[in-house]
Amino acid sequence: MQSETSVYYLKEAPIRKAIAHLSIPMMIGISATTVYNLINAYFIGLVHDTNMLTAVTLGLPITIVFMAVGDVFGVGAGTYITRLLAAGDQTTGKKAAGYSFYMSIILGLVFALAAWFFIDPIVHLLGADAAAFTYTKQYVLLLFFGGFALILNFALEQFVRAEGASKESMYGMFISVAVNIILDAMLILGCHLHVVGAGLSVIIANLAATAYYIWFLETKSQTVRGFLKEWRLSFKGQLEIYKIGVSEIFKSAFMIVTSLLLNNFAVQYGNDVVASFGIAVRVTQVPEFLTMGLFLGAIPLFAYSFSAKNTQRLKEALKELTLWIGLISIGFSVVVYLFRLPVLQLFTKDAAVLSAGLMVLSAQLLSSVFNGFSGLFTGIFQASGLGKETGTMAMIQGTFFIPVVLLLHHFYGLNGLIWSMTVTEGITFLVGSLLMIPYLKKLQTGALVAHTPATDQ
């Protein structure tokens, strides 16, 4: 009986049971990692030094960069491994995992070497002023030196999920969060290392999660056990990884550029507008993270069904995910929109912030609906190994925001700024819908044939 194995959920478990097994731990894990992003800022805040808090905040784009590089291999190799698993080729799957593991380390060391020579220009680029420069330099330099650990953590977590081991993936996330909290308290407050302690905590926490994932993959994995002995992968195999994984770079660039542009434009209208954006983003993160957990958790299910040519199972999974993403994103948005003033008043009583926040929250709620479905479209394309469609979605989301926000802000001022994200997400959703039409037609008629993943055999 295969029901006790992770592959069972990918191959033959009832769809709702499979999605629950794969996605619920991912939803919980993502929620836990949102706490991770606040931990360092919280403990540094207890030191009561604004410049230190600024340093930790300015280091966030560096973390996003490492996350993106980790996702190049995590998403690219992870979906490839699942498709190989469905095709019965575990040997190439091990090679893909081994290649990605060692490339993650190499790229991490390259980043560290570059930072050693260019750290001052990097810190200036991040926006550090004279008062925060030294603290930012200390924190960012540590992030660069430990960057390989962050890259490995993000990559290996997705290798674990690639074979359906979603609970084990979640355990690694919890380990990282728990270690970070403990070390922050010890190093920042106990040892008075401040930003240096914050940087060390991040590195060690990621190393702890990485060690757990390596242990699981080398001792418990049904598909890539022994991957550390493999480091060579054919050019075709590498192409399978990069054609899907590189899109993550565009998505992360979008996150960084969006944050920088919104902050720079919003500050022109005063801190009230900046605060209203901050509140709206935090509120809409709830449905966005829940839907993200749903479609990210289900990507291995899509990939396995696609590669196994089980179109009926793929259709059922897609239908079920569409239903749940719609219920969560639309249902949440409608309820919060109806009670938007009381919701905003949970965060502030400032009349000016509330006034600006009403429109900002409305725009962000609509944006979150588009974002949920666009994420599902991208996940389907990634799981199916469709590099062109995956890249198109990432390019649209990653590049269209810049001209959209510039044009709307120029012609409509603050209102244009508020709705620029919604317009961008709407365009991405529209493009994704158009790309899904031929995909769904082929799926419906049985004409959607999975190509055999490139192998090294």
Q: What's the structural domain count of the chain?
A: 2
More confident residue, 125 or 206: 206
CA separation for the pair 225, 261 (Å, rounded): 44
CA 319: distance to chain centroid?
23
Q: Which of residues 233, 251, 278 is at a domain's end? A: 233
Q: Is residue 129 part of a domain?
A: yes
Checking if the pLDDT of 457 tops 60, the result is no
More confident residue, 375 or 261: 375
237: Cβ contacts below 8 Å, ≥ 6 apart:
80, 92, 95, 96, 99, 454, 455, 456
State residue 2's pLDDT score: 39
Closest CA to 19 of 288, 295, 205: 295
Maximum Cα–Cα distance for the chain, whole Å?
67
Q: Which of residues 233, 256, 288 is at a domain's end? A: 233
Same domain, 222 and 272: no
Q: Is residue 367 part of a domain?
A: yes
Q: Is residue 248 part of a domain?
A: no
State residue 57's pLDDT score: 73
CA separation for the pair 152, 96 (Å, rounded): 14
Same domain, 53 and 112: yes
Same domain, 310 and 227: no
Each residue's pLDDT tens digit, 352-382: 888 988 999 999 999 999 999 999 999 999 8
Q: Are 385 and 240 within 8 A, CB to CB?
A: yes
Q: Is residue 22 part of a domain?
A: yes
Each residue's pLDDT tens digit, 63-112: 888 988 998 999 889 989 988 988 888 899 999 999 999 999 999 999 99
Least confident of 48-52, 201-205, 258-262, 290-294: 258-262
Q: Is residue 250 part of a domain?
A: no
Closest CA to 199 of 148, 116, 141, 123: 141
Same domain, 112 and 189: yes
Range of the domain at 342: 265-445
Same domain, 229 and 325: no
Same domain, 191 and 278: no
Q: Are 374 and 432 within 8 A, CB to CB?
A: yes
State residue 35's pLDDT score: 66
Q: To the nearest whole number, what is the mean pLDDT of the chain?
A: 87
State residue 121's pLDDT score: 93
Q: Which of residues 233, 257, 292 is at a domain's end? A: 233
Tokens 């008062």: give the residue: 131
Closest CA to 201 of 213, 224, 185: 185
Q: Is residue 456 part of a domain?
A: no
What backbone torsions phi and psi does residue 347 show, to the nearest 5 degrees?
A: -105, -30
Same domain, 288 and 343: yes
Q: Are 331 and 411 within 8 A, CB to CB?
A: no
Same domain, 211 and 282: no
Q: How far is CA 141 from CA 79, 205, 213, 365, in A?
A: 32, 17, 26, 37
Same domain, 193 and 279: no
Each residue's pLDDT tens digit, 304-319: 998 888 889 999 999 9
* CA angle in degrees (0–180, nearest 5) for 156-162-166: 85
Q: Is residue 210 part of a domain?
A: yes
Same domain, 286 and 197: no
Radius of gyration in angstroms for the set of CA atoms belonging to the chain, rounded to a whole number: 22
* Portion of the chain with pLDDT greater than 70, in percent: 94
State residue 1's pLDDT score: 37
* CA angle in degrees (0–180, nearest 5) for 298-301-303: 110
Same domain, 188 and 274: no
Q: Is residue 241 part of a domain?
A: no
Same domain, 308 and 421: yes
State residue 34's pLDDT score: 64
Checking if the pLDDT of 253 tops 90, the result is no
More confident residue, 392 or 347: 392
State residue 275's pLDDT score: 77
Least confident of 125-129, 249-253, 416-420: 249-253
What backbone torsions phi and psi does residue 290 show, to the nearest 5 degrees?
A: -65, -45
* CA angle in degrees (0–180, nearest 5) for 191-33-330: 150
